């Protein structure tokens, strides 16, 4: 299964839209969480327009978005649009043959998407939008159901436009579904091969089975161990030495303290790249956060949602040794040296989780804003400590050039205000020209909570650390359960305070 097959002009238009958007916003492979969020917002808007056009049962002309030459100037009056969900039999690997089951029936295929079936990840599904007469549609579906490649075919009935609930994970095991929801087609990434060559910037993913294994990872499994090459370990050592020299004068106290612990307990050393499983176990002991291997395909929404379950999606591949000070996409050096030490700090871990919880079920526009807030805090945040600026953002703590620049006086430093920060333009192709500083992590948390309270969301959530799930607080019994837990915590605090205040 190699993504979406090029079977008609509509699929080409979809890909053209993605390329045009990427080129307009910084290049096809130049990625950041904000760029992903902006892409998803634009793509969703575009394809919602297509859905509205295709739901019409009257004539539809090329003036309404169809490519010239794909369809006649107008559909005949007896043509209608039909949405189909086609489930393939296990082992069916030729999408072209499946498509031909419908093309042979002389229908117009106007949209194609593929995904793994949510109920059974061994099966694949196609979402097809076809245009034809009702009689032709019945004949085509009857023939398609006889195909040995198709196990099920379901007509998705058109409904009146309504506000759709946005799916989000409600239990940590739902992150398995996030990983497999491929929301965009990337022609330079072969999903069936463990090695992906990215031509831009002479950068490549040099991993083998570990890259492939990330697709099959499930909650509760041990993270596969990787045998890194000598070149990869040398790249790690080069970055490690340079950053360790800068940390005492540039990094925040929390990062410095945890980094020392990681060298003692978490497997950090200059000679070799630590294994994610060992580092993840260290994190669990400190703050309950854990690492999850990812192949770099998550959407901004899914990445942020993972934080709600104290899970950080972490790559295992290493940047190219020719450019050890730079990686166009997050690699394990960035995440191990930058993110991990901060996620092992209790206050910062709480901030990261609350940021993730705030993104569950919100609009695409708000995902963009939260991605921007993540960028200017978790990735490129400064804080004040002992009257001096210090870095706590992983984007700086994992890049010695960025770290030096952050405290050089070159960037414009602004006070952190979520309302302002959430709409700040950003750069991902050079050193950051604008940075935001927080007075303390406590102050950052307070401001973010106030901002989250202003977001329009139709429900509130509570995280249960015992079941690693989120509960929607939409009925009295859910509120009573949360209140009972809070009452227990309050009683314990009162008891301890009374003990402290007892006369000796």
Catalytic residues: 334, 339, 379, 398
Strands (E), 334-451: 381-385, 388-391, 412-415, 434-438
Do the annotations mark residue 157 as ligand-binding? no
Residue 238 assigned to a binding site: no
Is 475 marked within a binding site?
no
Closest CA to 203 of 292, 268, 296: 296
Q: How far apart are CA 132 and CA 135, in angstroms?
A: 8
User: Using CA atoms, how far apart are residues 352 and 419, in angstroms rounded to an integer?
Assistant: 18
What 8-state DSSP symbol labels residue 74? B
User: What are the backbone angles phi and psi of residue 142, rounded to the nearest 5°?
Assistant: -60, -40
- Token pair 């993104």: residue: 359
Number of neighbours of residue 500 by Cβ within 10 angstroms? 6
289 and 311 Cβ atoms separated by less than 8 Å: yes
Q: Provide the 3-class DSSP secondary structure of residue 476.
A: helix
Burial of 345 (0-12, 13-18, 19+ CB in 10 A): buried
> What distance in Å separates the CA atoms of residue 364 and residue 361, rounded to the nearest whole number?
9
Which of 369, 337, 208, 204 is CA-nearest to residue 269? 337
The first and second tokens of residue 499, run together, are: 């003990």
In order, the DSSP letters of 17-56 are: HHHHHHHHTT-SS---HHHHHHHHHHHHHHHHHHHHHHT-
Question: Which residues are annotated as part of the binding site?
Answer: 334, 339, 379
Question: Which residues are annotated as part of the binding site for Fe cation?
Answer: 334, 339, 379
């Amino acid at each position: 299964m190699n993504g979406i097959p090029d079977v008609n002009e509509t699929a080409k238009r979809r890909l053209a839209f993605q390329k045009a958007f990427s080129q307009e916003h910084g290049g096809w492979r130049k990625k950041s969480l904000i760029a992903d969020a902006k892409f998803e917002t634009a793509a969703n808007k575009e394809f919602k327009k297509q859905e509205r056009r295709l739901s019409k049962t009257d004539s539809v002309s090329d003036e309404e978005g169809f490519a010239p030459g794909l369809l006649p100037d107008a559909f005949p009056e007896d043509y209608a649009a039909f949405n189909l969900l086609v489930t393939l039999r296990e082992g069916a690997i030729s999408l072209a043959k499946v498509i031909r089951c419908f093309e042979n029936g002389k229908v117009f295929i106007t949209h194609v998407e593929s995904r793994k079936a949510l109920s059974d990840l061994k099966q694949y599904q196609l979402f097809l939008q076809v245009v034809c007469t009702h009689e032709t549609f019945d004949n085509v579906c009857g023939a398609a159901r006889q195909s040995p490649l198709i196990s099920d075919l379901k007509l998705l009935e058109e409904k009146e436009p309504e506000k759709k609930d946005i799916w989000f994970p409600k239990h940590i095991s739902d992150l398995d579904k996030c990983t497999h929801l491929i929301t965009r087609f990337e022609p330079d990434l072969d999903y069936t091969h463990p090695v992906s060559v990215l031509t831009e910037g002479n950068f490549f993913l040099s991993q083998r089975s570990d890259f492939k294994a990330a697709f099959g990872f499930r909650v509760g499994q041990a993270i596969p161990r990787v045998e890194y090459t000598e070149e990869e370990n040398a790249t790690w050592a080069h970055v490690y030495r340079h950053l360790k020299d800068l940390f005492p004068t540039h990094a925040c106290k929390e990062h410095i303290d945890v980094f020392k612990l990681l060298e003692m307990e978490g497997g950090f050393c200059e000679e070799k790249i630590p294994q994610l499983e060992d580092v993840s176990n260290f994190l669990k002991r400190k703050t309950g956060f854990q690492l999850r291997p990812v192949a770099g395909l998550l959407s901004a929404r899914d990445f942020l949602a993972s934080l709600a379950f104290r899970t950080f999606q972490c790559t295992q591949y290493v940047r190219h040794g020719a450019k050890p000070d730079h990686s166009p996409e997050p690699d394990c050096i960035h995440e191990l040296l930058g993110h991990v030490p901060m996620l092992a700090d209790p206050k910062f871990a709480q901030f990261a989780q609350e940021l993730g919880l705030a993104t569950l079920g919100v609009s695409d526009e708000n995902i963009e804003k939260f991605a921007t807030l993540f960028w200017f805090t978790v990735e490129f945040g400064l804080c004040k400590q002992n009257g001096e600026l210090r870095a706590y953002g992983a984007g700086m703590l994992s890049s010695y050039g960025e770290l030096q620049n952050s405290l050089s006086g070159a960037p414009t430093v602004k006070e952190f205000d979520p309302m302002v920060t959430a709409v700040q333009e950003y750069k991902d192709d050079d050193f950051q020209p604008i940075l935001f500083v927080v007075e303390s992590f406590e102050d950052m948390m307070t401001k973010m909570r106030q901002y989250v309270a202003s977001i329009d969301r139709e429900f509130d959530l509570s995280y249960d650390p015992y079941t690693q799930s989120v509960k929607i607080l939409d009925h009295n019994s859910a509120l009573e359960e949360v209140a009972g837990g809070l009452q227990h915590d309050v009683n314990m605090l009162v008891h301890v305070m009374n003990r402290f205040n007892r006369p000796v």
